[in-house]
C-alpha cells in the first residue's frame, strides 16, 4: 500500500510541476518534432513561375500570389514547418522577437539564434517582430522607436544579414508606428484580414492570421482560390505548427496540403521582401 501511495504522490507532484511550468511561461509545450512529419508526399515548387509577376506597364499583379509568414520564432516552426518548406523548395518570411531569441533558454519553446541563422542560409527571409513581444499600440513614440530601431540593430548584431520587413506583435499598430516603421523597413505586415494589390500601402499589408479551426479545406483553399481569381497577393500568418493545444496553430498535415495545392495550381510563393522589391 505504501508503495502505491508513493507512486501516486510522485505522479501528482510531476503533474503539478508541469502545470506550473506551463502557466509560468504561458507558452504551449513542444509536442512534435520534424521526425514525425511525412515528407514523401510533398511536391517540388518551381521558383521560375515568379518571373513576370509584376509588369512595369500595369498597376496589377499578372496572377495571384502567396506569402507564407510565421510569427514569434516558435521552436515548433523550425522543427515542423521549415522541413516541409525546405523539402518543397519554398521560401518563407519568419518574424522573430529579439527577447525570445536571447532568452530562449529560459522558456525552451523558441528557436535559438543558430536556428534563425540556419533558416536565413536556407533562403528564408528573417523579419523583425520587435524587441519585446508586447502591444506596441500601448507605447509612447519614444518606446515605439526603440522597439523598431533596436530590434533591427540587435538582429543584425546576431549575424542576420538582412532585416527588411517588420510585423508588430499581436498585429496592433498606430499611425505613428506605421510612419516610424517606414524609416527602418521597406514593409510592415499587419494581421488585418484582406487581400493585397499593388496599390496597398507597403506599411499596411494585410494578412490572414490562422487559428486552429482554419483547416486547409475549406478555409485556406478558399482564400487561395480567391487570390487566384482576383489576381491578389495573399499573406498567410502562421504561429505554431504542432498539435492542437494552442489557439494559433496549424497542423503539419494542413501545411503540406496547402503547399501541395499552391504548387499544383502554379501559384508563386514569395517572401514579403521579394514581393516588395519586385512590385512596389
User: CA–CA separation, 195 vs 181, rounded Å?
Assistant: 21
* Average pLDDT across the chain, whole number: 89
Confidence label for 59 from pLDDT (cuts 50, 70 and 90): confident
**pLDDT of the residue at 37:** 72
The grid coordinates listed for 154 are 540587435
The answer to whether the predicted template modeling score (pTM) of the entire model surpasses 0.85 is: yes
What percent of the chain is modeled with pLDDT above 90?
79
Contacts of the segment 145-151: beta carbons below 8 A, 24+ positions apart: 145/180, 148/177, 148/180, 148/181, 148/183, 148/184, 148/185, 149/184, 150/98, 151/97, 151/98
Phi, psi angles (nearest 5°) of residue 93:
-115, 125
pLDDT tens for 119-153 read: 999 999 999 999 999 999 999 999 999 999 999 99
pLDDT of residue 28: 40
Predicted local confidence at residue 36, as pLDDT: 63
Residues 234-250 have pLDDT tens digits of 999 999 998 677 899 99
Q: For residue 20, count other CB atoms closer than 10 A to its CB.
A: 10
d(CA 208, CA 206): 7
Q: How confident is the model over 83-123, as pLDDT tens digits?
A: 999 999 999 999 999 999 988 767 678 999 999 999 999 99
Q: How far is CA 258 from CA 8, 122, 214, 262, in A?
A: 45, 20, 12, 6
- The pLDDT of residue 167: 99
Task: Give the pLDDT of residue 30.
Answer: 39
What share of the chain has pLDDT > 70, as a percent? Answer: 85
Amino acid at each position: 500500500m505504501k508503495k502505491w501511495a508513493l507512486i501516486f504522490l510522485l505522479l501528482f507532484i510531476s503533474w503539478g510541476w508541469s502545470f506550473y511550468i506551463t502557466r509560468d511561461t504561458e507558452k504551449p509545450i513542444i509536442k512534435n518534432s520534424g521526425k514525425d512529419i511525412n515528407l514523401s508526399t510533398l511536391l517540388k515548387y518551381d521558383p521560375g513561375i515568379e518571373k513576370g509577376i509584376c509588369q512595369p506597364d500595369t498597376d496589377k499583379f499578372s496572377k495571384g500570389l502567396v506569402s507564407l509568414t510565421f510569427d514569434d520564432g516558435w521552436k515548433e516552426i523550425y522543427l515542423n514547418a521549415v522541413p516541409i518548406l525546405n523539402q518543397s523548395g519554398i521560401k518563407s518570411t519568419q518574424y522573430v522577437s529579439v527577447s525570445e531569441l536571447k532568452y530562449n533558454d529560459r522558456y525552451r519553446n523558441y528557436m535559438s539564434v543558430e536556428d534563425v541563422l540556419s533558416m536565413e542560409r536556407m533562403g528564408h527571409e528573417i523579419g523583425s517582430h520587435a524587441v519585446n513581444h508586447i502591444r506596441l499600440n500601448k507605447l509612447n513614440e519614444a518606446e515605439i522607436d526603440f522597439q523598431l530601431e533596436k530590434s533591427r540593430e540587435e538582429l543584425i548584431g546576431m549575424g542576420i544579414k538582412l532585416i527588411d520587413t517588420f510585423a508588430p506583435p499581436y498585429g496592433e499598430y498606430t499611425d505613428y508606428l506605421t510612419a516610424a516603421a517606414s524609416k527602418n523597413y521597406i514593409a510592415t505586415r499587419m494581421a488585418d484580414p484582406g487581400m493585397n494589390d499593388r496599390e496597398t500601402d507597403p506599411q499596411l499589408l494585410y494578412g490572414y492570421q490562422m487559428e486552429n479551426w482554419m483547416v486547409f479545406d475549406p478555409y485556406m483553399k478558399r482564400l487561395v482560390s480567391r487570390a487566384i481569381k482576383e489576381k491578389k497577393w495573399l499573406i498567410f500568418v502562421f504561429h505554431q505548427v504542432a498539435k492542437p493545444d494552442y489557439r494559433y496553430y496549424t497542423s503539419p498535415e494542413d501545411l503540406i496540403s496547402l503547399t501541395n495545392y499552391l504548387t499544383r495550381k502554379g501559384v508563386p510563393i514569395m517572401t514579403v521582401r521579394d514581393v516588395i522589391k519586385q512590385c512596389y
